[in-house]
Amino acid sequence: MATKTAIIGVSMDLGAGRRGVDMGPSAIRCAGLTNELQQLGLEVRDLGDIRAHIPEILEPGNPKLKYLEPIQETVTEAAKKISEVDKEYIMVALGGDHSISLGSVAASAKKYGPLSVLWVDAHGDFNTNESSPSGNIHGMVLAALAGIGAPQLTDIGGFSPKVSADKIVILGARSLDSEEKKLLRSHQVRVYTMHDIDRRGLVSVAQEALEYLLRDGNSLHVSFDIDSVDPSEAPGVGTPVPGGLTYRDAHLTMEMIAETQKMCSLDMVEVNPILDTANKTGQLAVGLIASVFGKRIY
């Protein structure tokens, strides 16, 4: 079981369609993250925040790749800072929109070698600048990490791909764009939708997903978008989709990940306190992070 963790916030909402997730790291910290992890016996090192420029002082640029250059700059800085942390620390990157994973996954792939990635999300994030209906980069991240899409995104960190498509699982999907579905199928990315979870049960699906990802002994990067959880439990998200993971499904997923003892790094992203109720979503994020570090009911 892990004994050391390092936290870094990436305060950026440039990749998203709605403002506010740049305040996500503060919301999660205010919900008591450090204390919760210390209660589990972990040594906690907080590296502070990397702060992106605010969109009010920027031009979006290419409508197919909005805010590309400042996003590149921010995630490259994040990757550098994360890479400098010793491997004995499990890194927790707090978002911020999901484009922060361009930096965190790049750093983990450099540090740990071949990675498997569990992408817990209502969305696939497997668009490219050609397929995206919005031009928002947080919807292109996973494709870019697999080496698919604009070179400015795929080459973050100086190498591509960060993860092979056959080492990716998307869990909890319930909102996929039509062209995105074609890309996922053509690259044979394994996707477990809410339909699969409803029919088979969370335990069966999550167990199969984890066995698939860990079949070759890779380290595991977990990227958890809080909008994977149903909006009744996680109201503070920019792109809510009804019919998501229940509170217990989300915790059980994290508990099952903890049991593997293979997680090397974690993203917790898309907490939007502007849209939240009394920091309910920030508190949920803290609880889920605690679960993936081994907290149990009994």
pLDDT in tens, 169-183: 999 999 999 999 999
pLDDT digits (tens, 9 = 90+) for 188-203: 999 999 999 999 999 9
- Average pLDDT score over residue span 239-249: 96
Percent of the chain with pLDDT over 90: 98
Whether this prediction's pTM lies above 0.75 is answered by yes
Rounded-to-integer distance, Cα 269 and Cα 93, Å: 8
- Average pLDDT score over residue span 227-245: 96
- Average pLDDT score over residue span 266-275: 98
Asked if residue 11 has pLDDT above 90, the reply is yes
Q: What is the pLDDT of residue 70?
A: 97
Rounded-to-integer distance, Cα 188 and Cα 191, Å: 9
Question: In angstroms, how far is CA 109 from the centroid of its own chain?
Answer: 15
Phi and psi of 192, rounded to 5°? -105, 115
Residues that are catalytic:
98, 121, 123, 125, 138, 225, 227, 270
> From the CB of residue 175, how many other CB atoms can be counted at a distance below 10 Å?
18
Decide if 236 is inside a domain.
yes
**Which band of pLDDT confidence, cut at 50, 70 and 90, is reported for residue 17?**
confident
**Burial (0-12, 13-18, 19+ Cβ within 10 Å), 220:** buried
Decide if 263 is inside a domain.
yes
Q: What is the pLDDT of residue 2?
A: 74
pLDDT digits (tens, 9 = 90+) for 111-149: 999 999 999 999 999 999 999 999 999 999 999 999 999
Q: What is the pLDDT of residue 154?
A: 98
* Average pLDDT for the chain: 97
Q: What is the pLDDT of residue 298?
A: 85
Asked if residue 1 has pLDDT above 70, the reply is no
Rounded-to-integer distance, Cα 274 and Cα 252, Å: 27
Decide if 40 is inside a domain.
yes
Place of tokens 């088979």: 200
Q: What is the pLDDT of residue 93?
A: 98
3-state secondary structure of 58: coil
Rounded-to-integer distance, Cα 40 and Cα 47, Å: 20
What's the first-to-final CA gap in the chain, in angstroms? 17
**108: Cβ contacts below 8 Å, ≥ 6 apart:** 82, 91, 115, 219, 221, 264, 265
Instruction: Read off the amino acid at residue 31.
Output: A
Total structural domains within the chain? 1
Decide if 298 is inside a domain.
no
Decide if 181 is inside a domain.
yes
- As a residue count, the chain comes to 298
Decide if 38 is inside a domain.
yes
Domain range holding 79? 4-292
Domain of 16, CATH number, reads: 3.40.800.10
Q: What is the pLDDT of residue 297?
A: 87
Decide if 271 is inside a domain.
yes
